[in-house]
Copies of this chain bind each other. A is one copy, B any other.
Amino acid sequence: MSAGTKEKLLEGALTTLVEQGIAKTSARSIAAAAGVNQALVFYHFGSMDELLAAACRHGAEQRVARYRDRLQRIGTLAELLEFGREMHAQERQAGTVAILGQLLAGAQTHPRLAPATAAGLELWIVEIEKVLTRVLAASPLGEFTDPTGLARAVAASFVGLELYEGVDPGGAERALDALEQLAVLAAAVDELGPVAQRAVRHRLRRTARR
């Protein structure tokens, strides 16, 4: 059946990206991972470009769907932090971020792959942005932050951290801890008393002009 094979190839592409990296992801390696004949890559997708582009979209949609509902019910920075840790652990194990890292690296010099990868990443970014917008609007920090930009920064940074983890797991863990410490710090500002908040705001308004 066609749908079965197409699906197998999409999944095969994703596992190959994780296990072999973009440099060794080929029609043959994908077909082997999918357990199907190599020629079927071209029958179903026409070219490697198209298969990788489709796999990127497929993988991102599949994964983002797992969190959409839950993210919608998050209201505070502290809640977001806790759930973010959970998501991060799950997606790390699933290889989602590793896939994005490999595709992003490949897309740098591969015009056909770039828009597809951007679209895949965008699926994540949209969700992050929605939560951040909601959470920051209810915070004294809202006035000084840009959820649209921050969502993109968060997504890109996670990819960078995942790649870093591949060559220095200890360093990456230390980096994640430091960032979380920073986020906890921001969450603490949320709960500052009104006098202190006013003082902080006043100072920020004077300085944060750019």
Contact = CB atoms under 8 A, between A and B. Distances in A.
A208 B188 contact: yes
A178 interface: yes
Interface stretch (A1-9, A67-75, A86-94, A196-204): A196-204
A170 to B, nearest CB: 9
Per assembly, the copies of the chain total 2
Given A108-B166, A121-B164, A150-B178, 6 more contacts: A101-B105, A101-B163, A141-B185, A145-B178, A148-B174, A199-B199
B174 A146 contact: yes
Interface of A is mostly: helix
Contact of A166 (B107, B125, B145, B200): B107
B153 A156 contact: no
Contact of A146 (B114, B181, B187): B181
A167 B203 contact: no
Nearest to A105: B105
Chain A contact patch, size range: 35 or more
Contacts of A21: 105-106, 108-110
A33 B150 CA distance: 38
Interface of A: 19-24, 98, 101-102, 104-110, 114-115, 117-118, 121-122, 125, 141, 144-146, 148-150, 152-153, 155-161, 163-164, 166-168, 171-172, 174-182, 184-185, 187-189, 191-193, 195-196, 199-200, 203-204, 206-208, 210
Given A19-B109, A166-B114, A192 B188 contact: no
A20 to B, nearest CB: 6
Contact of A108 (B102, B109, B172, B207): B102
Contacts of A208: 181, 184-185, 188
24 contacts: A21-B108, A21-B109, A101-B163, A107-B166, A107-B167, A114-B167, A117-B167, A121-B167, A121-B168, A146-B177, A146-B178, A146-B181, A149-B176, A149-B178, A152-B171, A152-B174, A153-B175, A153-B176, A153-B179, A156-B160, A159-B160, A180-B210, A188-B208, A196-B196
